[in-house]
Structure 1
Amino acid sequence: MAHKPQIKIPATYMRGGTSKGVFFRLQDLPAFAQVPGPARDALLLRVIGSPDPYGKQIDGMGGATSSTSKTVILSKSERPGHDVDYLFGQVAIDKPFVDWSGNCGNLSAAVGAFAIANGLVDVARIARDGVAVVRVWQANIGKTIIAHVPVTNGQVQETGNFELDGVTFPAAEVKLEFLDPAAEEEGAGGSMFPTGQLVDDLDVPGIGVLKATMINAGIPTIFVDADAIGYTGTELQDAINGDPVALARFETIRAYGALRMGLISHLDQAAQRQHTPKVAFVARPASYVSSSGKQVKAEEIDLLVRALSMGKLHHAMMGTAAVAIGTAAAIPGTLVNLAAGGGEKTSVRFGHPSGTLMVGAEAAQVDGEWSVTKAIMSRSARVLMEGYVRVPGQA
């Protein structure tokens, strides 16, 4: 039986923040993959190497973690006031699906650089030296991101001395502004707090009633107190990811929270929506040793946060979850705000498994409804490899 030869597709492998992904220009994809649907999903699954029952993604570009099983499709934007449209696909590792329900905040840091380098931004808008402001339309959630990308001699400046916990080597700083970050999720009515409460009683079978802050900002996120589920907030990955019972409990919390937030209409749908919502647990500051061996002192941080992505504890912090953290911290009375000491806040530095991260947010209450105009944080990004990915024709 004759087999179709491999096809090759122009692509760039990039790190953005603490994630890695395969970036494509929409125009470079095969015609059948330039539109949403099963054919596009099948192609991206094969590029990344999923589904893989071994959980290693050996036969693809994925790195066998949620942070490295990602794809990005970019195109020139036809939306007024924007330069580029950004579509993110979170590829499941052991299951045959691509989740398009949310953004990747970490890879958002690489979007501006890729867009400049690949001719998706009007050259008249790119400074020869200084900072290029790239206006990004995040198509998954319908939001604007402003990326401040350093430029030298008309080219993206990737090297620098900005250090980001969770990334081994320093690079150039990319500042991101997530405008109006409250996610407009279907079923959530466009509200930042879809239940109408800053803190809810979430009844989770087998666990009990948990206090929870459920917020749509950056990405839908369910926050609970660490001590309510038997943790301190200083845990590293092995403490959670090596415990299948714990992972199952977190998935149950996630499913019931998604139902309460109106993101799903039936519990069974949670399995097909792994990227959102996220689950995170928070605690008051405490000293601990990060995964790199770095000492994080209690007096250096405002609170502790640990978050799960695609069913596993994240090695650092998802960028979108950081937006949710900054937003919730800015609103007095949320569990995140209370863990950070309460009161009005415009920024917080939180401890995560790899170290610390600062995120800011501007919040205001109008007619009893909370709104956030923007959340701000710094990441870094760089090209790791560029050329072509090859995919068997049968894909």
Structure 2
Amino acid sequence: MTYVPQIKIPATYMRGGTSKGVFFNLTDLPKEAQVAGEARDNILLRVIGSPDPYGKQTDGMGGATSSTSKTVILAKSDQADHDVDYLFGQVAIDKPFVDWSGNCGNLTAAVGSFAITCGLVDKKRVPDNGIAVVRIWQKNINKTIIAHIPITNGQVQETGNFELDGVTFPAAEVKVDFVSPVDPSEAMFPTGNVVDDLSVPGIGTFKASMINAGIPTVFLNAKDIGYTGTELQEAINSNADALERFETIRAYGAIKMGLINDISEAAARQHTPKVAFVSEPESYVSSSGKNIDAQSIDLNVRALSMGKLHHAMMGTAAVAIGTASAIPGTLVNLAAGGGEKNIVTFGHPSGTLKVGAEVSNINGQWSVNKVTMSRSARVLMEGTVSIPGDCF
């Protein structure tokens, strides 16, 4: 029997924030994959090593977690006043599915660096030394993101002393601005309320703040669902019943937010919405053994991504946290002590994160102008990735 040989595709393996993924320049992909569709999805699935019934992604570049089963496609932007188009694909681990419904805020930190290195940013916009301001058009959600990339001697500066909880080694700081993550024409709170009663058949009715900022997110009070808000991954991810319960809550939250019409549709929309639970500040020991003092944080937040408790915090969920914390009366705001806030530091399983938000209320309608946070990014490997030539 004759088998089709492997093909090689130029690619870069990068860490961005607390995630990592495989980055592609759109024009480097096979012609069939330069447009959305089955061929593109099949290529990305094979690159990452999905679907894998063993849940390990041994035969691909994925790391067997939602944070490391990611792909990015970049192209020179044709949007006015933007440098690069950023398309994110969240690859399911055990299913033949790529979710294009949302953004990855963590990998956003690596987009500017990759775009500069690949020549997708006009050289006139990159200083010899200083900060390159990269204007990113996030194609999944049609939003603008600004990345501030440090440059030394004309090259992206990746090394530095900025420490990010959830990442082992320090690196250069990358400031990221999520500009108008909610359009004025969109409802930040799809139900019209900052707090709702979310009824979940067979489980209960819970107070919930459901917000669409950064990424659609359902916030719950930790105590209402039997938690303290200081839990680490093992407390949730080792409990199959708990995970099933969270997935059911997520599905009914998606209906309440108008993201799906029927509960059966939730399985095909795994990336959104996210489910997170909040609590007032309480001391705990992070997953790295670091003591997090209640006095150093405004609240605790734990969030689930792709069916598992995240080891740190998704960047897009941090946008939702920052926005919700600045709006009086949300569960996030109340957990942080209530009142007006424009910066909060929250505790997550790996440590802490500070996020700032500029919000305004015009005629009773909340809007957010900008959400800002700092991440870091680094190239892990660059060259080509190989896949069987008949997989797409």
TM-score range, shorter chain: over 0.9
Give me the TM-score of the superposition, normalised by structure 2.
0.99
The answer (yes or no) to whether the contact 1:212–1:335 under 8 Å persists in 2 is yes
Partner of 2:149: 149
1:299 counterpart = 2:307: no
3-state DSSP of counterpart to 1:280: strand
What does 1:85-100 align with in structure 2 at a 5 Å threshold? 85-100=85-100
Partner of 1:240: 236
Partner of 2:222: 226
Alpha-carbon distance, 1:52 to partner: 0.1
Partner of 2:306: 310
What does 1:154-169 align with in structure 2 at a 5 Å threshold? 154-169=154-169
Partner of 2:70: 70
Partner of 2:188: 192
Question: Could you tell me which of 183, 208, 211 is aligned with 1:212?
Answer: 208
Query: How far apart, in 1, do the equivalents of 2:109 and 2:42 lie?
Result: 26
Runs of 4+ in 1 over 6 A off after TM superposition: none
Partner of 1:372: 368
Runs of at least 5 residues in structure 2 that lack an aligned partner in the other structure: none
Query: How far apart, in 1, do the equivalents of 2:205 and 2:308 lie?
Result: 23
Query: How far apart, in 1, do the equivalents of 2:127 and 2:325 lie?
Result: 35
Query: How far apart, in 2, do the equivalents of 1:206 and 1:158 lie?
Result: 49
**1:295-345 deviations in whole A, cap 9, x for unaligned?**
000000000000000000000000000000000000000000000000000
The answer (yes or no) to whether the contact 1:109–1:380 under 8 Å persists in 2 is yes
Alpha-carbon distance, 1:394 to partner: 1.7
Question: Could you tell me which of 281, 287, 297 is aligned with 1:285?
Answer: 281
Query: How far apart, in 2, do the equivalents of 1:141 and 1:343 lie?
Result: 30
1:250 counterpart = 2:246: yes
3-state DSSP of counterpart to 1:111: helix
2:88 corresponds to which letter in structure 1? F
Partner of 1:4: 4
Partner of 1:108: 108
3-state DSSP of counterpart to 1:247: helix
Query: How far apart, in 2, do the equivalents of 1:182 and 1:279 lie?
Result: 19
Alpha-carbon distance, 1:381 to partner: 0.0
Query: How far apart, in 2, do the equivalents of 1:283 and 1:207 lie?
Result: 20
3-state DSSP of counterpart to 1:372: strand
Query: How far apart, in 2, do the equivalents of 1:207 and 1:300 lie?
Result: 34
2:223 corresponds to which letter in structure 1? D
Partner of 1:353: 349
Query: How far apart, in 2, do the equivalents of 1:86 and 1:94 lie?
Result: 25
Query: How far apart, in 2, do the equivalents of 1:200 and 1:4 lie?
Result: 55
Query: How far apart, in 2, do the equivalents of 1:348 and 1:207 lie?
Result: 31
Alpha-carbon distance, 1:207 to partner: 1.6
The answer (yes or no) to whether the contact 1:183–1:218 under 8 Å persists in 2 is no
Alpha-carbon distance, 1:206 to partner: 1.8
Partner of 2:322: 326
Partner of 2:14: 14
1:222 corresponds to which letter in structure 2? V
3-state DSSP of counterpart to 1:211: strand
**1:96-120 deviations in whole A, cap 9, x for unaligned?**
0000000000000000000000100
Partner of 1:45: 45
Runs of at least 5 residues in structure 1 that lack an aligned partner in the other structure: none
2:74 corresponds to which letter in structure 1? L
Query: How far apart, in 2, do the equivalents of 1:3 and 1:199 lie?
Result: 58
1:320 corresponds to which letter in structure 2? T
Query: How far apart, in 2, do the equivalents of 1:116 and 1:262 lie?
Result: 38
3-state DSSP of counterpart to 2:385: strand
The answer (yes or no) to whether the contact 1:10–1:389 under 8 Å persists in 2 is yes
Alpha-carbon distance, 1:208 to partner: 1.0
Alpha-carbon distance, 1:35 to partner: 0.2
1:127 corresponds to which letter in structure 2? P
3-state DSSP of counterpart to 1:89: strand
Query: How far apart, in 2, do the equivalents of 1:79 and 1:134 lie?
Result: 13
Query: How far apart, in 2, do the equivalents of 1:210 and 1:114 lie?
Result: 42
C-alpha RMSD of matched pairs (Å): 0.8
The answer (yes or no) to whether the contact 1:183–1:216 under 8 Å persists in 2 is no
**1:56-110 deviations in whole A, cap 9, x for unaligned?**
0000000000000000000000100000000000000000000000000000000
The answer (yes or no) to whether the contact 1:88–1:100 under 8 Å persists in 2 is yes
**1:244-270 deviations in whole A, cap 9, x for unaligned?**
000000000000000010000111000
Alpha-carbon distance, 1:183 to partner: 7.0
2:175 corresponds to which letter in structure 1? K
Query: How far apart, in 1, do the equivalents of 2:223 and 2:182 lie?
Result: 27
Query: How far apart, in 2, do the equivalents of 1:45 and 1:248 lie?
Result: 25
The answer (yes or no) to whether the contact 1:183–1:220 under 8 Å persists in 2 is no
